[in-house]
Structure 1
């Protein structure tokens, strides 16, 4: 259940990130050439990272409300895994020289975030457990 909860929280927040990041970028670059260096720098170096941090905090809050303990390892490793998977998916699409519709960007980001958060939850599932060694001796104390 922990993995499913993390995957849903990550996917929802990633979709919300994409749906907020793209319109903000379009609004800021309104009237500028899409190839303008200032527009690309503003959007990709300021808007995208700041909004990603905001949505990562929202994902942490959602995981905290769902109460899988501890939350912080999943909240830290989830965005890292999501970024790596989204980058791999985007580079694959670019490498194929495909011209997909805009919805593909949302799907790549959402699916990679869901998988990234699920992997983070699975990897950190045993973190913070019992450390007294009793689980190996059959003593449940």
Structure 2
């Protein structure tokens, strides 16, 4: 259930993150060149909004009483970025021409998988131990 919770929260925030580019781009790129707009979006807006949405994911997982929240909140975006980059490079290699809605779907799916993997990997991190691993080892 923990993996599903992290996947859903990550996917919803990733969808909101990727869909926020269109309104931000329309408002910021008025009167600028195409290269200036691309530079503005991908060098400033995307990283800043990614950090903001990562904080939102952290807050939502914290609200859902996820313990510990910080390993999943840190590892989730990293794994999601790697998966989205691999999916994007695969689409370019296959010479696909995805529409805007397809790219939102790819980002949402890869982020859901990324947060699910991060939750599975960090699921036992910082958990309580009963000390059994040290019993009988005293000299």
* TM-score, length-scaled by structure 2: 0.90
How far did residue 135 of structure 1 move? 6.7
1:78 is aligned to: 76
1:1-141 correspondence to structure 2 within 5 Å:
1-34=1-34, 36=35, 38-131=36-129, 133-134=131-132
1:92-114 alpha-carbon deviations (Å, 9 max, x no partner): 11111111221110111000100
* CA distance in 2 between partners of 1:47 and 1:68 (Å): 29
Gaps of 5+ in 2: none
The 4+ residue runs of structure 1 with deviation greater than 6 A are none
The size of the alignment, in residue pairs, is 135
> 1:59, 1:75 within 8 Å by CA — same for their partners in 2?
yes
Q: Output one character per residue of 1:33-57: Cα deviation in whole Å (capped at 9) or x when no partner.
A: 43x2x22211100000001100100
TM-score by length of 1: 0.88
Unaligned runs of 5+ in 1: none
Distance 1:22 1:3 in 2: 30
